[in-house]
Amino acid sequence: MAQETNAAASLEGSWEGILGGRLHLVVTIHKAGSGELAGQLDSVDQHATLPIEKASLAGNMVKFEVSRIGGLYQGKMNDEGTEISGTWTQNGVPEQPLSFKRGAAPKPSEENAAKSPEHTPKPLTFPLDIVIPVAPTAFKADGKWHLVYELHVSNLGKWDCELTRIEVLDANGGQKPLAAFSGAELDGMVVHPGGDAAQKSKIGPAQFAVVYMWATFDTLDAVPGSISHRVTAKIGDYPESFSVDIPATPVDRKPVVVINAPLTGEDWVAGNGPSNTSAHRRALIPVNGRAYISQRFAIDWIEAYPDGKTYQGDPADNKNYRAYGHEIHAVADGTVTETKDGIPQNTPGAKSLAVPITLESIGGNHVIVDIGNGLYAFYAHMQPGSLRVKVGDKVKAGQVLGLLGNTGNSSEPHLHFDICNASSMLACEGMPYAFATFEVEGKGESWKPSDRHEAAVKHEMEIPLEDEVVRFAPIP
């Protein structure tokens, strides 16, 4: 059903606001092909981008949801359509006032303003520069094999280029098609870092976009040793489309590192876990002049109570969260390369960060362990004073590293865990891994805690996917 719109102004466009006096937010709303409103919420200070669902403007009443974090915004637009005043609620935390002002509309460039009405001439070459910054590694999840990687696309031409189709090809098998993406599916895979989400698959002159790729295969034998891509695009208003096959990229088919669980017990939700739209998956962050996705396969482990909530009682008390205080275990033998302690705990809720978020504090109290073969395990957001290791310590799999808390860039007690290719929180590339064993009790809203023992399915040598609810065995 199409959304109602204000007679004075539309909800479409960019809106800017500050939550709790600290967090700068940018909300971008556009109309999807179905006629419904959709968009994204950018938490600028947290370097996080989240999809917006169920956006609506009924009369002058505004509403949208950010289901990934349990967020709901409700407000009222002024008659001029320039401001919205309202409240934000998230995961049961008391509502907070939040107002938005409409962002300035982008000014047309002098080139566009003086553009000739004549059609775009045929380009001399395909104007897109397409690079795969990190070659994919095959990993197993939910019984299938997956390749996760990115295409960095730069428009070096002088006309708009609109991606219309991307095909994944077997570079070792006569360019056999393996997967294809187009239309709304492709639009949802394209992100313009720091730019306008409403552009979707359109990349303007001198602009840059990232295409987040995720290809799935039934068996490892079906995963090729090398892949290439056929990219098709419309250039300006030239009537014909153009296609190009970009150079092949090797695929790492060797087994990923197998680790033990960092936690024990049941009802652990894989928040922001592996998916092609999770906040971790799309956290492309520049550090020291280079952009990385350290959190490509990261998981925020949050423990739920049988009623599905993560806390009981006062939501502003860390001790009321089920995950709080759990022992965090080393997932493999290794050597501690970095620790951070002494950061005070946050009060649960988006507006209650105990310290400003910087490159040094974003992970809160944390431990990084070199587990060999160029891989490093990262454990974040621990309780202050709970760390039981120091730099240089040799640790064994299962050894307690510290206690689960709520420090750094964290809105409630949880363990952020990932594996990277360098001893760093953010200046590294996230790599896939597999837990030796775990049980899946359910997933997301379909999970029924009362049925978790009957419904649990054992998985071996896999990684959980986003929002799967997992049971880990006790440490032997």
pLDDT digits (tens, 9 = 90+) for 140-155: 999 999 999 999 999 9
CA distance 439 to 473: 9
Reply yes or no on whether the pLDDT at 116 is more than 60. no
Reply yes or no on whether the pLDDT at 446 is more than 70. no
Q: Contact 434/139 with Cβ under 8 angstroms?
A: yes
Of residues 433 and 37, more confidently modeled: 433
What pLDDT score was predicted for residue 4?
Answer: 38
Q: Work out the average pLDDT over 334-359.
A: 92
What are the structure tokens assigned to 312, written together? 């009981």
What pLDDT score was predicted for residue 39?
Answer: 85
Consecutive H or E run containing 161: strand 161-170
Of residues 325 and 7, more confidently modeled: 325
In this predicted structure, which of 59-68, 157-166, 311-320 has the lowest mean pLDDT? Answer: 59-68
Residue boundaries of the structural domains of the chain: 13-102, 121-250, 257-472
- pTM, whole model, 2 decimals? 0.77
Q: Residue 1: pLDDT band by 50, 70, 90 thresholds?
A: very low
Q: Residue 448: pLDDT band by 50, 70, 90 thresholds?
A: low
pLDDT, mean over the chain: 90
CA atoms within 13 A on the CB side of 206: 3
Q: Which CATH class is domain 121-250?
A: mainly beta
Reply yes or no on whether the pLDDT at 72 is more than 70. yes
**Gyration radius of the chain over CA positions:** 23
Q: Answer whether CATH 2.40.160.90 is correct for domain 13-102.
A: yes
Q: Contact 99/24 with Cβ under 8 angstroms?
A: no
User: Can you give the length of the chain in residues?
Assistant: 476
Of residues 38 and 325, more confidently modeled: 325
DSSP bridge pairs for 18? 24
CA angle 434, 435, 440 (to 5 degrees): 110
CA distance 278 to 272: 5
pLDDT in tens, 4-58: 334 346 898 889 999 877 778 888 888 776 678 888 888 876 667 788 888 999 8
What pLDDT score was predicted for residue 69?
Answer: 77
Look up the CATH superfamily of 257-472. Answer: Glucose Permease (Domain IIA) (2.70.70.10)
Q: Work out the average pLDDT over 422-439.
A: 97
21 C-beta neighbours (distance < 10 Å), count: 7
